[in-house]
A = this chain, B = another copy of it.
Amino acid sequence: MPGVTHHCFGCAPNNRQGLRLRFQENKDGSVECLFRMPRRFEGPPGHLHGGIIATILDEAMGKVNRKKGIVALTRRMSIDYLQPVPLRVKLSAVGWPVKVEGRKHFHAGEIRTLDGDVLARSEGLFIAIDPIEMFRKYGERVSGHAKTQSIRTAKLKG
């Protein structure tokens, strides 16, 4: 988005050492991203690190919040590693909303082959906060530059 200079490891276009994931919205209410991961994110030989799998699923579920127009922070996440996730192969990450209880938003996510095989699955609990709370929580120990980003992001997402 023009004017936004966030540096998110998962999705910032200008963080060249990050994953640079780009999600689109599907008609069924889910969000989806096609990706192909390079070797620097290796865990077991030839395959993605479990932490990067978690990162992709956190992003997929987090983007559901954005689609819903809320600012929310990950409170809990669980990941089932069902099959090894190969490097250098085009795969899909999908996230969708499951239920809402007050400020608690429960989402789910999957990493799939393009044939639809599920390689990893996640559940996440996200707590909706208002942008001022976001600023208070994350603004205290960071630089003025980052504070500006925080406000901008909150305004855009909130």
A interface residues (Cβ-Cβ under 8 A, vs B): 6-10, 15, 17-18, 39-47, 49-52, 54-59, 62, 73-81, 84, 86, 89, 134, 137-139, 141-143, 146-147, 149-150, 153
Contact yes or no, A46 B77, CB < 8 A: no
State the number of copies, please.
2
Once bound together, how far apart are the Cα atoms of A50 and B43, in whole Å? 18
A21 to chain B, nearest CB (A): 10
Which residue of B is nearest A150, CB measured? B45
A73 to chain B, nearest CB (A): 7
Residues from chain B with a CB closer than 8 A to the CB of A58 are 49-51, 54
Once bound together, how far apart are the Cα atoms of A141 and B83, in whole Å? 13
